[in-house]
Amino acid sequence: MVVELVERPLPKPSDEGYVEARLLEALGEARLALEYLERGFTRDAAGMAFHAWKAFMAALLRLELDKLRSLAKMEEERRWLESRAVPRIPTAKMKELSRLLRDVGHVGITFVTDKALDLHDYQYHGPDPDMALSKYTTRESAADVVELVQELARRVEALRGHVEWTEELERVLEEVKRALEGGVACVNC
């Protein structure tokens, strides 16, 4: 079921279902991150958690697009937000985009985005005792995946009442919450 969520074609950002699709994608990838972590695949788990956060940011950017446009100083920035930022969420611009989301009311999002980017580095470089390429020295410390997924689930749930809340969204959120409540044990970490 999770694979189906992640592999669905996305609606265009201008379509009504875009925010819901991105939230479902975020929760599906969050569930996969927990599954990978349980199996001991910390680098894959870190990557899935990062992608879950990126999908969540896409949903927020689309949801807040009118407010974000009003913050933009130039027409070129407004067009970039709509044509590039929302559909693509460039990794190199995630910090900047999270600051914009903070400025329209999403408190603490910059710190969570930093955590997601740290996990992204870990995905590619693995544990790094020197901390030159990754902020994580061991596989055990990369279990921050759980914290990121917890925060993502909390923030998705907080959107109830601000987005069209479907049965499918509720079901997948509950799946992620159950997996978190069950405690994720990092096997062979």
Domain ranges of the chain: 2-181
Burial class of residue 150 (count of CB atoms within 10 Å of its CB; 0-12, 13-18, 19+): middle
Spatial contact of 12 and 152, defined as CB atoms under 8 Å apart = no
pLDDT value for 21 = 94
pLDDT value for 114 = 97
pLDDT tens sequence for the chain (189 residues): 566 766 778 888 888 899 999 999 999 999 999 999 999 999 999 999 999 999 999 999 999 999 999 999 899 999 999 999 999 999 999 999 999 999 999 999 999 999 999 999 999 999 988 888 889 999 888 779 999 999 999 999 999 999 999 999 999 999 999 999 987 655 545
The model carries a pTM of: 0.92
Rounded Cα distance, 34 and 53, in Å: 14
Q: Which of 180, 156, 116 is nearest to 27 (CA)?
A: 156
Contacts of 98 (CB under 8 A, 6+ apart): 57, 106, 109, 110, 112, 113
Residue 163, strand partner residues? 160
91 φ, ψ (degrees, to nearest 5): -55, -40
- What is the number of alpha carbons within 13 Å of residue 168 lying toward its C-beta? 13
Structure tokens at 56: 């969540």
Rounded Cα distance, 85 and 70, in Å: 15
Reduced to 3 states (helix: H, G, I; strand: E, B; else coil), residue 188 is: coil
Rounded Cα distance, 96 and 100, in Å: 6
pLDDT value for 186 = 55
